[in-house]
Structure 1
């Protein structure tokens, strides 16, 4: 038998050789592609690290049915379930959760604020934490936000978020609000902007935002001064920022504080009397916020009781129940002569917070007035 020549062998097996060669090329290409595709760990390393501190509220609430949007039970869903309900969070941040409290926010106290602020400061001091999200009931969300705005000692983002509908409701707003909050807390755009509040795709400053409607999802607004920006298409857009000092630039340190000075609010109305004021002073109030009518006006029958309280060492701050505008010093009262303080543009509930913190530093009304014009 005559053996075929090498050329004949080559011709006979050429199609197979080409097939094997192609397979080798494909295999090499796939290997290279796999090598170039980032794995989950590599992706995680590029995402910001955000800690969610849960405190309860409607965002963690449940109703009797999917159409229950009032009369529901707040603060029933834990932080792990809140996070699990929004799997899209994994695309924008490495998220960890802590259940700090589980309460309806109308039950928020000074003790809660101190504990929360201290925990936020501890977390933000860590290099592996890039931002904080706090889930919160909407009733006092503006107060907690402003307290943190004055006591957080970091420029890293702190974002407070809530919901107007419980987690079980049709079109519940909690999941998208939480997603936006985590996105914002992990963003470079939010660094140095102070404590932020986000609901309804809007970004507001802690100092200026307030709840304006009992039940609608667009309740949070910053009257007159306006919101800071929007969240759209998974990106924050800022158009302005608050000019008042906050966070790292404040003079308040709550590290070793266990109790805040007692400050109460007296609400102005026609035919008001001093019963509430007298009781609050007798109970040991160190400061009184007088939420007067109009430009913080003081009724004739309230002037002497307020003067008497001041003589006892109680700091009197004139605020307004109106909700917008500057309370003019020496406008509706002779503040210099009476040794009173005015709240500037702060509403009564936020003026109370600033006065409590101011009283941890001084009892001098001139210094306290400086603080109201600074923060």
Structure 2
């Protein structure tokens, strides 16, 4: 009997040792999280100088909880993010997530355009497995750098089974945000990332993950959009509304071949009169015009002060101008019919 008990204990211990840690890929694109400077007390630094292997080495604790693999996709500040990197990143994310041996992906990214990259991937990733974007507001050489803990938290979110099926996520400053909702709200503050219309969907505190909300709009596996085989995305320009505005930028966008124009209008997405006239002409030429607001939150109403039905304009629901542009780029790969594109803004 004693021998049987010992054998049973050995079997249980052996089985527990055979339980594999989750495999998490870290795809690096550069940004402040990979930046370095000459002084711990200076805001001056160079983005993207630290490679993915050094980022991983700086947070050795993640190797205790997961099998970590790293790849360098790009090495740029996110102010330089572009369609070429987006398409490369999307292709690699989809290829990895189709591999049964990969449990989740963490993408290190600069904060300037993180919300756009997250929303783009939210629309074109074809898997329920977690994809988490993470960055930092202070470079790795700065006093009280926030990057290492953000990475540790992001890996924990990517490992967590509750993260599956929630679309692409953004982890910053102990908060978990849905890609559709999150935006950068301050230039340098570590708590810059917020979701103005809905709030963050969860928290992660030293690796402890809790969710409180669920994204409801279509994303990832339910999305109609795919970038498979795409070499470029349609040109879409954003026009920022203000007082005493001229139509020059709208006219230039038309001349330069824009397929779509997003107006970040004043108030409820309203254009200056001369800009409205130029946008009406653009829509008549087959260029898709989307109205959104420069205010930072709230929905842009259909037909409130602008006759959208008459002019063939589209409204962005509560997407900000940057994200309205991302959705329009992908929508234009499907159609240039305003009524169909309006439906996309209601669904995504």
> What TM-score range do you get, normalising by the shorter chain?
over 0.9
Q: Is the 8 A contact 1:266 1:289 kept in 2?
A: yes
1:59 matches 2:33 = yes
Q: Is the 8 A contact 1:157 1:194 kept in 2?
A: yes
Alpha-carbon offset, residue 314 of structure 1: 0.6
**Partner of 1:21 in structure 2?**
none
- Where do 1:200-211 residues align within 5 Å? 200-211=173-184
- Where do 1:340-351 residues align within 5 Å? 340-351=313-324
1:247-278 deviations in Å (ceiling 9; x for gaps): 01000011111110100000000011111111
Q: Is the 8 A contact 1:66 1:168 kept in 2?
A: yes
Question: In structure 2, which of residues 186, 189, 193 is the aligned counterpart of residue 220 of structure 1?
Answer: 193
Distance across 2 between alignment mates of 1:37 and 1:65: 49
Q: Is the 8 A contact 1:293 1:322 kept in 2?
A: yes
Q: Is the 8 A contact 1:59 1:137 kept in 2?
A: yes
Q: Is the 8 A contact 2:130 2:166 kept in 1?
A: yes
Q: Is the 8 A contact 1:298 1:332 kept in 2?
A: no
1:134 matches 2:101 = no
Unaligned runs of 5+ in 1: 1-24
Distance across 2 between alignment mates of 1:305 and 1:98: 45
Alpha-carbon offset, residue 38 of structure 1: 5.7
**Partner of 1:191 in structure 2?**
164
Distance across 1 between alignment mates of 2:324 and 2:197: 18
> Secondary structure at 1:189's aligned position in 2?
helix
- Where do 1:1-375 residues align within 5 Å? 42=17, 45-68=19-42, 70-375=43-348
Alpha-carbon offset, residue 302 of structure 1: 1.5
Distance across 1 between alignment mates of 2:162 and 2:74: 29
Q: Is the 8 A contact 1:123 1:129 kept in 2?
A: yes
TM norm structure 1: 0.89
Q: Is the 8 A contact 2:152 2:206 kept in 1?
A: no
Alpha-carbon offset, residue 35 of structure 1: 8.1
Alpha-carbon offset, residue 224 of structure 1: 3.0
Alpha-carbon offset, residue 300 of structure 1: 1.4
Distance across 1 between alignment mates of 2:107 and 2:113: 13
1:180-200 deviations in Å (ceiling 9; x for gaps): 011111110100000000010
Q: 1:32 to 1:167 in 2, by over 3 A?
A: farther
Distance across 1 between alignment mates of 2:124 and 2:93: 10
Distance across 2 between alignment mates of 1:38 and 1:209: 44
Alpha-carbon offset, residue 111 of structure 1: 1.1
Q: Is the 8 A contact 1:195 1:205 kept in 2?
A: yes
Q: Is the 8 A contact 1:63 1:71 kept in 2?
A: yes
Alpha-carbon offset, residue 171 of structure 1: 1.1
Alpha-carbon offset, residue 31 of structure 1: 11
| RMSD over equivalenced CA pairs, Å | 1.9
Q: Is the 8 A contact 2:49 2:75 kept in 1?
A: yes
Q: 1:75 to 1:233 in 2, by over 3 A?
A: closer
Unaligned runs of 5+ in 2: none
Alpha-carbon offset, residue 33 of structure 1: 8.3
Alpha-carbon offset, residue 32 of structure 1: 10
Distance across 1 between alignment mates of 2:296 and 2:336: 26
